[in-house]
Chain A
Amino acid sequence: MNQKVFVKMKDICKSFGSVKANNLVNFEVNKGEVHALLGENGAGKSTLMNMLSGFYKPDSGSVFIRGKEIKFNSPKDAINEKIGMIHQHYKLVDVQTAKENIILGQKGNLFVNNKKLSKKIYDIANEYGLPINPDKKIYDMSIGEKQSVEILKVLYEGNDILIMDEPTAVLTPQETKKLFQIIKNMASKGCAIIIITHKLNEVMEVSDRVTILRKGKTITTVITKETTPELLTNLMVGKSVNLSIKRPEVIKSEEILKVENLFAKNKNGVKVLNNISFSLYGGEILGVAGVANSGQKEICESIAGLYPIESGKIIYENDDIVGKTPGEIINKGISMSFIPEDRLGMGLVASMDMIDNYLLKEFHNQKSIFLDRNPILKICNKMIEDLQIVTPGVNHPVKQLSGGNIQKVLIGREINTNPKILITAYAVRGLDIGSCHTIYDLINEQKGKGVAIMFIGEDLDILLQLCDKILVLSEGTVMGIVDARTTTKETIGHMMAGGLNSKEAY
C-alpha cells in the first residue's frame, strides 16, 4: 500500500447555526509534503482541520485517508488513522508532566514503566532535534517548550499525518526557524504535514503546495514555487491589496510621558523590570520589541497603574503617576489596550455585548444612578461603521465575534475616549492581513492627532514598517532605543537576544 495521496477531503460542508463555515470544500495532501492552508480569519481553515482530527463532524462530504473512505465520529477515529493535530490553543494538561501528557489515552500496562518511557521520549526528541525534559510540569514551561511537547505527542503515537493550527503565532523568530527545520525534517521522513496559517512569508518559506480558502470555499491549490506573495494575497482576500504599511512623518514631537528608572518584581520575587527608562512623544509611535515575557506586559500595566512598582517614576503632565489608581490614570487620558494571547482575557467581558463593554469604561462619567445606554448605542453603531466591524448587532455578545472583530471593538473603545497616550500590546495578534491594515490605519490616525503611542508587537517586520522608534527589551532590561527607519531586523534580533547596542541607543 504505497498510496501517494494521504488525505483527500471531498465536498465538505459544515455549518454552525446559520453560519456556513465550510461550503463544498475540496482538499488534498500527498505523502512527504508540507501543505499550507491559507485564508483570512473565519475562512474555515480550522473548521476543516477539526473535521480531519475528529473534533467536528462534517454535515456532508467524504474524507479519504490513504485511499480509503473514513467516517469520523470522534478524535479516536483520527488517531486510528494516524492523524495528529496540534491545536492553536494547546491541548495540554497543566498539572501533569510532559511525559504524562504524552502517554495520555495510550494503551499499555496498567502501571507505567517510567524509565522505558523516558528513554523512548528522549529517542524521538533527539531524532527530530526537539529539546525536552519529560519530567517538567507543563505550567513551568515556556510556549516553545509546550509546542515541543505537542509535537512529541503526535510523533510518539507514530502519526504520519500532522496538522498544525497556526503553529508560529506565539513563537519568536528563532523558535519559528527551528520549528520549520523540524517540519522539513518530518516531511523528508515521509510524513504529510498541513500548516494552517495566514502569514505569507511562512507559506513561502516552508510549504510545497498551498490551498487557499475564502469564506468557507476552496479557491484553488497552487505550487508554492510557482507563486508570489502578492498573488496569494489576491487569492486570499479576493481583491488586490497593497501590502505596504504607511508611516506618516512625525509632525510635532513633544514629550508627554517619561518613565524613569523603573524597577518591579513579580509575585515570586523575580525581577521583571530592571531600570526601565524611556519617553513617549506626541505624534510618534514607539515600538517595543522583545521575545515573549521580557517585561512588555509589566511595562503596560505599570503605566496603567495595575502593577506594583518597586521604585522609579512615571512622569505625566509634571506629575508622578506611580501609586495612582487605574481610574485616576484613565481620567488623565492614558489609555491601554492589551490583547493577551487568548484575546479576551483582559479588557473585554466575553459574554457581554458591545454596549455593556463600552459602558465598563464610560459609566463613571454618567451622573444618574441608572445607566443610560442610548448615547453609547450611537457611539457603538458609529464604531461598527467606521471600523467595519462584522457583527449581527451591538447587542451580540463579543465572544461570538471573530478574533479580528473583537480586537477592533477593544481598540475602538480605547480610541473613542480621546486618549493622549495609547498603549497597544499585540494589537494585531492572530489577525489576517485585511484586519491588520485597518488597525494600522487606526493607529496612524491617532498618531496624526498628536497622540503618543506605544505599540508592543511580535512581528519585527511590522514594527520596522509602522513605528518611528523601537525600544528593545531583553529580560526586563532596555537594550536600547533605535530609529526604525534606519535599523535592520538583524540588529534588533541581536539586541532581543541580550546583545547591548550602545552605539545606536539614545
Chain B
Amino acid sequence: MIESFLYSVIISGTPLLFATLGEILTEKSGHLNLGVEGLMLLGAVGGFGIGFVTANPILAIFGGALVGMLGALIYAFLTVSLRANQVVSGLALTIFGTGISSYVGTIFVGKKMPEVIINFFKPFKIPLLNKIPFIGNILFNQDFFIYLSYISAISLGIYLYNTRFGLNLIAVGENPSAADSTGINVTLYKYVHIAIGGALCGLGGAYLSIVEVPQWQDNITAGRGWIAIALVIFASWNPYKAMYAAYIFGGLNIIGFRMQNLNFSQNLLDMLPYIVTIIVLVGSSIKKSKNNAPPKGLSVPYFREER
C-alpha cells in the first residue's frame, strides 16, 4: 500500500521536479520567470504534437524541450536585452503559453499517444539499484523520462556547486556588475540559462502529456507551474533539495485521489497542495539565512553604464 503510493508519488512529482529545476536555473541567473505555467503548457503541447505526428519518443522529448526553450527565449529577449519588467513579462508568457497550447491543442483533443511511445515509456528496472530494499522498487523501477529527471537534478547540482560555469552563474545572479568586471559575458550567461531553464520547464509539461496522462487535455498542467515557482523558494534554490520538495508536493497532489474511499471532503483534499504552498512560503520567509536567500540580483535588470 505504502510502496505503491510512494511509487505514484515519484510519477506525480516528476513534472514539478523538471519545472522547479528549470526555474532554479533561471532564477540563479537573476531572472524571475513567472511564465513557468506557460512554458510547461508549451512543452506539453509541443511534446504531444511531435510525438503524435512522428511516433518517435526521443523526438517527442526533444520537441517538448525545444518548444519550452523557444518560449523562454522570448522572455529572455524581453528581460535581458530590452530590460523589461520581469514580473510582467513572465505573466505575459503564462498567458501566451496557455493560449497557444489551447489553440494548437484543439486538433489533439481526445487523441491518445501512439502505442510505440506508450510502450517506450513503460517502466523498466535498473540492474543492482532496484535491489535496494524498499526504495529500490520505488525509485529504480520507473520509466525512462523519470530517470532523465534524476539525471537532470543531480547534474544541475554538480554544475552549480562544483564547476566554474556554475560559480560564474551564481556571480551573475548575485552581482552582475561584479561578474562583468571579471570578464564574464553576463548577457550570454543569462540567455543560455534562461533558455535551458525553459527547456526543463517544457520537459515538465511534456512528461504530463506524453507519459503521465498520455492523452491531450486542455490546461493539462492545472497550476503545477505556479507550485513549481513556490517550490524554488521551498528548495532554497538548491537542485538537490528540489527533489524532495517536488516529491512532497507530488504526494499532496495524489493524496486526495487515494483517500477518496475514506469519506473525507474531496474539496478539502484538492485544496491541500495550495494550502501547503502558502504555509511553506510563510515558513521559508520567517527563517532567514544568507545561504538560503534568493539571488541578490533577482529581477533587477542589469545595465553596465548605470550610475
Contact mask for chain A residues 90-117; partner B; CB cutoff 8 A; 1 contact, 0 none = 0111111000110111101111100000
Whether B184 pairs with A104 at a CB distance below 8 angstroms is yes
State the Cβ distance, B303 to closest chain A Cβ, in Å.
11
Which residue from B165, B174, B184, B307 sits with its C-beta under 8 Å from A94? B174
A251 to B132, CA, bound (A): 87
Q: How distant is A422 from chain B, measured CB to nearest CB, in Å?
A: 31
Instruction: State whether the Cβ of B183 lies closer than 8 Å to any Cβ in chain A.
Output: yes
Asked if A16 is an interface residue, CB under 8 A from chain B, the answer is yes
Q: Known: A93-B171, A95-B170. Contact between A104 and B163, CB under 8 A?
A: no
In the bound complex, do residue B163 and residue A111 qualify as a contact, i.e. CB atoms below 8 Å apart? Answer: yes
Q: Does the CB pair A93–B183 fall under 8 Å?
A: no
Contacting residues of chain A (99-140) with chain B, CB-CB under 8 angstroms: 100-101, 103-106, 108-112, 137, 139
**Bound form: Cα–Cα A137–B174 in Å:** 14
B263-307 interface bits toward A, Cβ cutoff 8 Å, 1 = contact, 0 = none: 000000000000000000000000000110100100000001101
Question: In the complex, how many angstroms separate the beta carbon of A84 from the nearest chain B beta carbon?
Answer: 9
- B181 interface neighbour in A87, A96, A111, A137, Cβ under 8 Å: A87
In the bound assembly, the distance between CA atoms of A16 and B170 in angstroms comes to 31
* Residues of chain A in range 34-80 having any CB-CB distance to chain B below 8 Å: 53, 55-57, 74-76, 79
User: Would A75 and B170 count as touching, CB distance under 8 A?
Assistant: no
Is B291 a contact of A105 with CB atoms below 8 Å?
Answer: no
Instruction: Decide if B177 touches A93 in the complex (CB within 8 Å).
Output: no
Contact A105 B305 (CB under 8 A): no
C-alpha gap A382/B165 in the complex (Å): 55
Residue B168, interface by CB 8 Å: yes
0 or 1 for each of B104-120: is its CB under 8 Å from A? (1 = yes): 00000000000000000
CB neighbours (8 Å) of A137 from chain B are: 290
Contact flag A94-B290 (CB < 8 Å), given A105-B168, A153-B182:
yes
Complex contact A91–B164 (CB within 8 A): no
A85 in the interface (beta carbon within 8 A) = yes
Q: Using Cβ atoms and an 8 Å threshold, which residues of chain B touch A94?
A: 174-175, 290, 296
CA gap between A331 and B184 in the complex, in Å:
52
Q: How far is the CA of A301 from the CA of B162 in the complex (A)?
A: 43
Interface-central residue, B167, B170, B185, B290, by most chain A CB under 10 Å: B167
Q: Which residue of B174, B181, B185, B293 has the most chain A CB atoms within 10 A of its CB atom? A: B181
Complex Cα–Cα for A75 and B183 (A): 6
Q: In whole angstroms, how far apart are the Cα atoms of A104 and B183 in the complex? A: 9
Q: Roughly how many angstroms separate A96 CA and B296 CA in the complex, as a whole number? A: 12
B contact residues around A79 at 8 Å (CB):
182-183
In the complex where A91-B175, A94-B175, A95-B293 touch, is A75 in contact with B182 (Cβ < 8 A)? yes
Q: Which residues of A contact B58 (CB under 8 A)?
A: none
Interface: B95 (CB within 8 A): no
B184 nearest CB neighbor, chain A only: A105
Chain A residue numbers with a CB within 8 Å of B305 are: 55-57
Interface status of B135 (Cβ within 8 A of chain A) = no
Q: Which residues of chain A (293-327) have a CB below 8 Å from chain B? A: none
At the interface, is chain A mostly helix, strand, loop or mixed? loop
| B176 nearest CB across to chain A (Å) | 10
Which of B163, B181, B184 contacts A53 (CB under 8 A)? B181
- Please name all residues of chain A whose beta carbon is closer than 8 Å to the beta carbon of B291 when the two chains form the complex: 95
Asked if residues B163 and A96 are in contact (CB atoms below 8 Å), the reply is no
Name the one of A57, A93, A112 contacting B178, with C-beta atoms under 8 angstroms. Answer: A93
B175, B293, B296: most-surrounded residue (chain A CB, <10 A): B175
Chain B positions 92 through 111: 1 when the CB is less than 8 Å from some CB of chain A, otherwise 0: 00000000000000000000
| A96-B183 contact, Cβ under 8 Å, with A16-B307, A56-B305, A91-B177 | no
- Closest approach, in angstroms, between the C-beta of B87 and any C-beta of chain A? 18
Q: Is B179 an interface residue (CB 8 A)?
A: yes
The answer for the CA separation of A156 and B177 in the assembled complex, in Å, is 19
Residue B218 at the chain A interface, CB threshold 8 Å: no
Q: A104-B168, A105-B179 known; A95 and B163 CB under 8 Å?
A: no
Q: Which residues of A contact B212 (CB under 8 A)?
A: none
Q: Are A105 and B290 in contact (CB under 8 A)?
A: no
Query: What residues of B have a CB within 8 angstroms of the CB of A110 in the complex?
Result: 163-165
Instruction: Check B162–A55 contact: CB distance below 8 A.
Output: no
Q: Is B143 an interface residue (CB 8 A)?
A: no
Chain B residues, Cβ within 8 Å of A53: 181
Known contacts A100-B167, A103-B164, A112-B167; A55 and B304 CB within 8 A of each other: yes
In the complex the two chains form, is B168's CB within 8 Å of A95's CB?
Answer: no
> In the complex, what residues of B have CB within 8 A of residue A95's CB?
170, 174, 290-291, 293, 296
- If A55-B305, A95-B291, A153-B182 touch, whether A104 touches B171 (CB-CB below 8 Å) is yes
* Chain B residues positioned under 8 Å from A56 (CB to CB): 304-305
B164 near A112 with CB under 8 A, answer yes
Q: Are A104 and B162 in contact (CB under 8 A)?
A: no
CA distance in complex: A106, B181 (Å)? 11
Closest chain-A Cβ to B168's Cβ sits at a distance in Å of 6
Smallest CB separation, A49 vs chain B (Å): 12
- Residues from chain B with a CB closer than 8 A to the CB of A87 are 181
State whether A104 touches B182 (Cβ < 8 A): yes
Residues 376-406 of A contacting B (Cβ, < 8 Å): none
The CA-CA distance from A240 to B3 in the complex, in Å, is: 87
Query: What chain B residues lie within 8 Å of A108 (beta carbons)?
Result: 164
Provide the bound-state CA to CA distance between A93 and B179, in Å: 8
Docked CA distance A441–B283 (Å): 51
Bound: A135/B293 CA distance, A? 19
User: Considering the chains assembled together, what is the distance between the CA atoms of A96 and B307 in angstroms?
Assistant: 25
> Which residues on B sit within 8 Å (CB–CB) of A92?
175, 178
Alpha-carbon distance between A104 and B177 when the two chains are bound, in angstroms? 12
**A480 to B185 CA separation, bound complex (whole angstroms):** 53
Q: With a CB–CB cut-off of 8 A, which chain A residues contact B170?
A: 93, 95-96
Report Cα–Cα, A16/B171, bound state, in Å: 28
Contact of A105 among B163, B182, B293 (CB under 8 A): B182
Docked CA distance A227–B240 (Å): 63
Please tell me if the beta carbons of A93 and B181 are within 8 angstroms of each other in the complex.
no
Instruction: Please tell me if the beta carbons of B181 and A75 are within 8 angstroms of each other in the complex.
Output: yes
B174: contacting residue among A75, A76, A96, A103, CB under 8 A: A96
Residue of B nearest to A16 (CB): B307
Interface centre among B164, B179, B180 (most CB of A within 10 A): B164
Residue of A at shortest CB range from B162?
A111
From 133 to 150 in chain A, residues with beta carbon under 8 angstroms from any chain B beta carbon are 137, 139
Name the A residues within 8 Å of B296 (CB-CB). 94-95
CB distance from B157 to the nearest CB of A (A): 14
Assembly CA distance A93 to B30 (angstroms): 13
- Determine the chain A residues whose CB is within 8 A of the CB of B179 once the complex forms: 93, 104-105
B163: nearest chain-A partner, CB-CB: A110
Residues of A within 8 A of B171 (CB): 93, 96, 101, 104-105
Among A53, A91, A112, the most chain B Cβ lie within 10 Å of the Cβ of A91
Report how far A53 CA is from B177 CA in the complex, Å: 13
Interface residues of A in 4-54 (CB under 8 A from B): 16, 53
Binding site for A on B (CB under 8 A): 162-165, 167-168, 170-171, 174-175, 177-185, 290-291, 293, 296, 304-305, 307
CB-based closest 9 A-B pairs: A105-B182, A91-B178, A76-B183, A105-B184, A104-B182, A105-B183, A79-B183, A93-B174, A91-B181
Given contacts A79-B183, A96-B170, 12 further A-B contacts (CB under 8 A): A56-B305, A74-B185, A76-B185, A91-B182, A92-B178, A93-B170, A93-B174, A95-B170, A95-B291, A95-B296, A106-B182, A112-B167
5 contacts between A and B (CB under 8 A): A74-B183, A94-B174, A95-B293, A103-B164, A110-B163
